[in-house]
Amino acid sequence: MSTGLPPGVPAGTKVFGPGSNCTLEVCPVDISVYGYVPSLAANAIFLALYLISACIHVYLGIRWKSWFFMGCMVLGAVNATLGYAGRIAMHYNPFDFVAFMLQIICVTSGPVYYSAAIYVTLAAAIKDFSPSLSRFRPDLFYWIFIPSDVICLIFQAAGGGLSTASSGQSEIGVDMALVGLSLQVAMMLIFCGFFADYLFRYFRSAQYQADLGRRITGLNFGTRLKLFFSFMTLAILLILIRCVYRLVELRDGYRGGLIHDESLFIGLEGCLVISAVYCLMIAHPGLIFKKSRNVGILDSEDYEFQKVPSGTPAQP
């Protein structure tokens, strides 16, 4: 974002921040914070996809009574919807400060909600399915990863708010957002390590071999497990890649090169996160839990894992 006024722009024009009076009729787009006019088509598509995902997750949540998972997914979708609404407003005026503040806070912090849904769901699956195969106590996932997720959300939202309130001149806001993103990436990498270790041990266990032959209302249980773990893993990786991208993007603040490349934003923010959201529809806890009554941080026992009695022999 340029700090000087180019020729032809009236003296006293405020480019960015509260009270900005720049418009495309007065100021060239290249001196806006992003340096481009956000794509109306791309942002409208993302907004529509998030609204659709929210409706689907409400339906699935009510059907399977997975209230915590549904709450996280819907909050994340609403957050993203607000963010992309802000970007659509910036299509008509790239200098709109309120729209910029809305999208930088909401789009940046949105995936934190999806991470929380993933942490709680996988911890509940490990605890209720094969806790002995995990090197990390499932209960500790709640006490370590969920609080860290809350801290990430606070830092990212506060960082976005401070950076915009200071009209982009203060580095404190950007640094706070970087701290939130860095912590999110670090915690996700640690979580991925424990999760990968668990999957490796589980898929080599006798328990998994026994589960392959069991059938529960439609798909056999082995197929359910493969779909659940495969798409959950894919969602985690997509969110992780996105967080690394945003971390690198914000490292240079609003003057860096990546923040001015909309194609990278569309591909590594928009496409990756919405893909993760739809992956989490397939990796829904209802796929492997018979009753997901009210799963929260402290009550994972409310999940009822879709297992037949242990004495039931596996079918050939």
pLDDT by residue (tens digit) across 32-48?
989 999 999 999 999 99
Flag whether pLDDT at 128 surpasses 80.
no
Q: What domains are there in the chain, each with its CATH number?
A: 35-304 (1.20.1070.10)
**H-assigned helices in the chain:** 40-64, 67-92, 97-109, 111-129, 138-165, 171-203, 206-211, 221-251, 262-265, 272-282
201-251 tens-digit pLDDT: 988 888 787 766 655 555 677 788 889 999 999 999 999 999 999 999 988
Could you tell me the pLDDT band of residue 174, with boundaries at 50, 70 and 90? confident
Sign of the dihedral through C-alpha 178, 184, 190, 195: negative
Residue with tokens 């209960």: 139
What are the structure tokens assigned to 210, written together? 């026994």
In whole angstroms, what is the distance from residue 141 CA to residue 148 CA?
10
Mean pLDDT calculated for residue range 63-77: 95
In whole angstroms, what is the distance from residue 176 CA to residue 170 CA?
11
